[in-house]
Structure 1
Amino acid sequence: MSDKSVAVVTPVILAGGSGTRLWPLSRKSYPKQFVPLLGEQTLFRSVVARLSGEGEGFAFARPVVLTNATFRFIVAEQLAQEDTDPRAIIIEPSVRNTAPAILAAALHLSASDPEAMMLVAPSDHVVPDAEAFRAAVSQGLAAARSGDLVTFGIQPTRPETGYGYLQVVARPDGSGQPIKLARFMEKPNAARAQEMLASGDHLWNAGIFLFAARDLIAAFEKHAPDVLAAVRPAVDSAEGDLGFLRLAAEAWDAAPDISIDYAIMERADNLSVVPYDSGWSDLGGWDAVWSHAGPDAAGVTVSGEATAIDCSDTLLRSDSEGMELVGIGLNNIIAVAMNDAVLIADKSRSQDVKLAVEALKEKGAAQAESFPKEHRPWGWYEGLLVGERFQVKRIVVQPGQSLSLQSHFHRSEHWIVVEGTAKVTIGDGVTLLTENQSIYVPAGEKHRMENPGKIPVVFIEVQTGTYLGEDDIVRYEDRYARG
């Protein structure tokens, strides 16, 4: 960095997780960070916006995002919605927890600037006051520049048992200045959480970190060399792919599945904590969503096409167009309705939603993991009706995008355009279809749908055949490099 008085901080955003505690809205195929849980902006887009611009004594650089192959086009699309050109979107070949992921970002940054300053943040947290958070980053910069690994501790407001804790060497004095860390604490039971709250020297572990790339790499050399031995070759042999950076799979898969807390933070002695008390949540359950959604005087929050009558301390949420959700006389209830699944739970049991996912997995229900709206690099589709030998889908193709040139062995398709103009290839023929026009695609015929216009193309697809699975597809050309 040419000007040592102004630090350049590179956001490193972790966006590969797939939690279940906000089922049915958050699922393995489309987790909570990409969903507009609070307002119109997704949690991922919120963190991208928050980690941009300038703070006192520093400026944010273009972000590095770590995700997996499934979410890569969703990440790219939502970055574009924030007019953000990332420094890199790094693709993790398999799930290996936060330690390998953060180390991969550090190695990538240090290749061009060993002194690169990194701010690591999950993509699924709520931090309402962006300016206050930037001020906290400013507070931590001096410690990070001097070689400390800085973490951010949230001033607890209740005896929470769902978070890990950070014990600091002295009570925070309200200045926001970094305090040396005494030790990490695992999630406590209720009695211990009450003691921690009363002591005043314990903070919630937010999983947000600030440090120089070289200092983190040095920490891995000392405390977790096995992680470094796997991740370094995965980064060194990474390959570019359509604007993404794919880590080398064989080396990456050898990395231990371990968190940054266990690998480094619980072992290092150069740790500081920035106390933060301006609002934070990991939205770890529907009770947290209820709280942050701004309940009315009766403690009721409604979202979408939902109506509450004589209810109290209740969340009613409809996330499907045309799905009316009505609650009458409810108290302390969470009710979330989608077109393929409905959750009704006592608000005090919010942390047990994962039990519903486990139960659905055991019975083989697709709703356990699959989102009703399947996102693709060209747009999305959703199933409308399924029969034994037919199914009906609504498909949206974004402007300038196209499906692959493909064919199917076991099904034929009818396409009816209901919005926009589509360019359709069937065999050697090319046809332009506008609203209310249709075309037939025989089984075995090569075909493609493209959107040459400036508005989305919406069409209804009716499939008929002996087998209708998504794996009945042969791709001949694909701009998104899918197999």
Structure 2
Amino acid sequence: MKTIILAGGSGTRLFPISRKKYPKQFLKIGDEKSLFQKTVERSLLAVNPEDLIIITNKDYQFHIKNQLSEVFNDSSVESFNLILEPLGRNTAPAIALAAKFALEKLKVSEDEVLFVSPSDHIISPVEKFAEYMKKAEKIAKEGYIVTFGIRPTKPETGYGYIEADSALSLTETNHNSPSTNPTIYKVRQFHEKPDLETAKEYLAKGNYYWNSGMFAFTIKTIFEEFKKNAPEIYEKVENSTFEEVLENFESMPDTSIDYAVMEKTEKGVVLPLDITWSDVGSWDAFYEVMEKDENRNVKVGNVIDINTKDSLILGNKRVVSTIGIEDLMIIETDDVLLIAKKGEGQKVREVVRKLKESEKFKHLTEFHTTVYRPWGSFTELEKGDRYRIKRITVKPGEALSLQLHYHRSEHWVVVKGTAKVILEDDNGNLKEIFVHENESIFVPKTRKHRLINPGKIPLELIEVQVGEYVEEDDIVRFDDRYCRE
């Protein structure tokens, strides 16, 4: 069995902590590991590292590699099967592309089972989940498309639902031992996110399950269903090489696997999961799955709470103090403070929409004050009309591109470590200069330059930019080891 981890989503429902350039699958909220890292570790309870296929977009490739290197040693990161979508085309094209990769690059047969998992879910206990994965593999080998259904615990309006039909008998699934044969049901219908009254009806009926977005099927089965129900995807994959599919990925329809296949197939079955699960699709959902104190508060960061109950309080650098509040969600970052009533978490997307419409604030939906790069990160400390101040961290052995700026000069002060600076002189020659702690160097505008960390510890420095234009797009790259434009 191969596991496909879908890690290209850019949702902002956990704004302001989740943003387009650093979405929720990479977040470590009150935890040492991100949701993506937990997904990888959970998958490895059922498959080997070489059986993982991680599909994401080009913007996230360095997040993926950095987070894999935190879980595994650096030398093993490049051995993971990583597919980079040129642009997002939803889950159906992503799964088709991954299936093609498995056939062509991993040399598997059409009878190989693919298990598909999003990268941003919370699941426990993980050992029990691994058993469900192995059960799904057995069922999928018999030609079914298995979807994992979560037993609803409340009338949730933020999830889609799967309506189960009759149970499949042991003879239909060819299992001889009832102890190893899970109860599975034919899928009657998929339902979109309901209103509250409809969700209450689903809960009362007892044969409706939350749609987890996890599936298992053989390559043969899914290609047959693409051919029957989504020929516009099948035709682009069947008669092309993997490289050709990737090159023409933009022409793929933007559609989900639910719409392309699951809502139409006659091979769909639902395997109910008796575990704790959340797609963390809102701050309300985050509150539900987190550990609470004696007043049913979830607190992360520097929080002082007095007479506070049933609230979610996430602090960042500042101390967050609350007095006499109840049923509130307070999320603080360097540049945004979100305060909402519990139960209104799904409306965060409306805040994001309004910010996107604002010329002044639309950048807030894209970036944090800390921006991650393949070489490390930078944090904006202050910005004015003609200046910008950053704290830059360069990982050991990494280097920024050889570049120049037309509109700004830069002054670098090393705080920790040793910097190797490549700087163009008055004659156009590139010179190598070492800058140590408490030393500085000036980089004039229009001069080629490069910053390198030759040491064994992270390099930290303060950068002061001065000029008539201090935005990120004032950069001309001449050489870049990360192949950025």
TM-score by length of 1: 0.92
Question: Among 198, 204, 226, which residue is 2:210 paired with?
Answer: 204
Q: Residue 11 and residue 201 in structure 1: after superposition, are their counterparts in 2 closer, same or farther (change >3 A)?
A: same
Q: Supply the distance in 1 between the matched residues of 2:157 and 2:49 (Cα, whole angstroms).
A: 34
Residue in 1 that maps onto 2:60: 71
1:295 aligned residue: 292
Aligned match of 2:456: 454
For 1:68, give the aligned amino acid.
N
8 Å CA contact 1:35–1:43 kept in 2: the answer is: yes
For the residues of structure 1 that align with 2:21 and 2:311, how far apart are their CA atoms? 28
State the 1:59 CA deviation.
5.6
> CA 1:232 to 1:395, structure 2 compared with 1: closer, same or farther past 3 Å?
farther
User: For 2:30 and 2:382, how far apart are their aligned partners in 1?
Assistant: 30
Letter of the 2:56 counterpart? T
Q: Aligned pair in 2 of structure 1 residues 38, 277: CA closer, same or farther (>3 Å)? A: farther
Matched with 2:173 is none
State the shift of 1:18 in Å: 1.1
- Secondary structure in 2 matching 1:247: helix
Please say if residues 139 and 177 of structure 1, whose CA atoms lie closer than 8 Å, have aligned partners that are also in contact: no
SS in structure 2 at match of 1:195 = helix
For 1:148 and 1:186, the matched residues in 2 are separated by: 22
Q: Summarize the Cα distance change of 1:380–1:473 in structure 2 as closer, same or farther, 3 Å threshold.
A: same
* Aligned AA (1:345): A
- In 2, the alpha carbon distance for the partners of 1:186 and 1:166 equals 9
Q: Is 2:89 aligned against 1:96?
A: yes
1:107 aligned residue (100, 103, 113): 100
Cα shift at 1:87: 3.8
Contact 2:49/2:80 (8 A) holds in 1: no
Q: Secondary structure at the match of 2:123?
A: coil
Q: Residues 232 and 197 from structure 1, CA distance in 2 versus in 1: closer, same or farther, beyond 3 angstroms?
A: same
Query: Structure 1 145/60 Cα, relative in aligned 2: closer, same or farther at 3 Å?
Result: farther
Give me the whole-angstrom Cα distance separating, in 2, the residues matched to 1:59 and 1:420: 38
Aligned equivalents of 1:383, 1:153: Cα separation in 2: 43
CA contact 1:421–1:452 (8 Å) conserved in 2: yes
In 2: Cα distance, 1:393 partner to 1:59 partner: 41
C-alpha contact 1:52 1:61 (8 A) present in aligned 2: no
For residues 15-36 of structure 1, the C-alpha deviation after alignment (integer angstroms, 9 at most, x for no partner) is 1111121100001111111111
Distance 2:208 2:117 in 1: 21
Segments of 5+ residues of structure 2 without an aligned counterpart are 169-177, 425-429
Pairing partner for 1:328 from 307, 323, 329:
323
Aligned AA for 2:100?
L
Q: CA deviation at 1:142?
A: 1.9
Q: Cα deviation per residue 1:141-173 (whole Å; 9 max; x = unaligned)?
A: 221111111110001111111111111124799
Q: 1:38 to 1:203 in 2, by over 3 A?
A: farther
- Kept in 2, the 8 Å contact 1:301–1:316? The answer is yes
Q: CA deviation at 1:38?
A: 4.4
Consecutive unaligned residues in structure 1, runs of 5 or more: 1-8, 239-245
Q: 1:306 to 1:450 in 2, by over 3 A?
A: same
Structure 1 equivalent of residue 246 of structure 2 = 247
Query: In 2, Cα distance between the equivalents of 1:87 and 1:60?
Result: 7
Aligned to 1:350: 345
- Maintained 8 Å contact 1:302/1:308: no
**C-alpha displacement of 1:385:** 0.8
| Aligned residue runs from structure 1 range 200-239, under 5 A | 200-231=206-237, 236-237=242-243
SS state of the match for residue 313, structure 1? Answer: coil
The Cα of 1:61 is off from its aligned counterpart by: 4.2
1:40 alignment counterpart:
32
Between 193-202 and 413-422, the greater mean CA deviation after superposition: 193-202
Distance 2:465 2:101 in 1: 45
Q: How does 1:189-200 map to 2 (within 5 A)?
A: 189-200=195-206
Aligned residue pairs: how many?
Answer: 461
- Kept after mapping to 1: 8 A contact 2:147/2:270: yes
Distance 1:188 1:348 in 2: 15
Identity in percent: 40
Distance change (3 Å), C-alpha of 1:189 and 1:235: farther
Note the aligned Cα RMSD (angstroms).
1.9
State the SS of the aligned residue for 2:312: strand
Distance, in Å, in 2 between the alignment partners of 1:81 and 1:431 is: 31
* Poorly superposed stretches of 4+, deviation over 6 Å: 171-175
2: CA distance, partners of 1:23 / 1:464: 31
Instruction: Give, in whole Å, the separation in 2 of the partners of 1:233 and 1:17.
Output: 28
How many Å apart are 1:339 and its aligned residue? Answer: 0.8
State the partner residue of 1:185. 191
Question: What's the CA shift string for 1:177-209, capped at 9, x where partnerless?
Answer: 332222212222222211211211111110001
Map of 1:121 onto structure 2: 117
Amino acid at match of 1:455: I
Matching residue of 1:308? 305
CA contact (8 A) 2:375 2:398 kept: yes
Distance 1:208 1:44 in 2: 15
Q: Distance in 2 between matches of 1:277 and 1:191?
A: 25
SS of the residue corresponding to residue 307 of structure 1 reads strand
Question: Which residue of the partner structure matches residue 369 of structure 1?
Answer: 366
**In 2, Cα distance between the equivalents of 1:160 and 1:171?**
24
1:343 counterpart letter in structure 2: L
Q: Which amino acid aligns with 1:73?
A: F
1:479 and 2:481 correspond: yes
Alpha-carbon contact 1:24-1:343 (below 8 Å) kept:
yes
Distance 2:236 2:336 in 1: 41
Aligned partners of 1:345, 1:132: CA distance in 2, in Å? 35
- Within 5 Å, give how 1:333-412 maps onto structure 2: 333-364=328-359, 365=361, 366-412=363-409
Corresponding residue for residue 138 of structure 2: 142
Please say if 1:131 is aligned against 2:116. Answer: no
Partners of 1:439 and 1:38 lie apart in 2 by 38
Letter in 2 for 1:105: A
Q: SS of the counterpart of 2:122?
A: coil
**Matched residues in 2 for 1:235 and 1:382: separation?**
42
For the Cα contact (< 8 Å) 2:418–2:434, is it kept in 1? yes
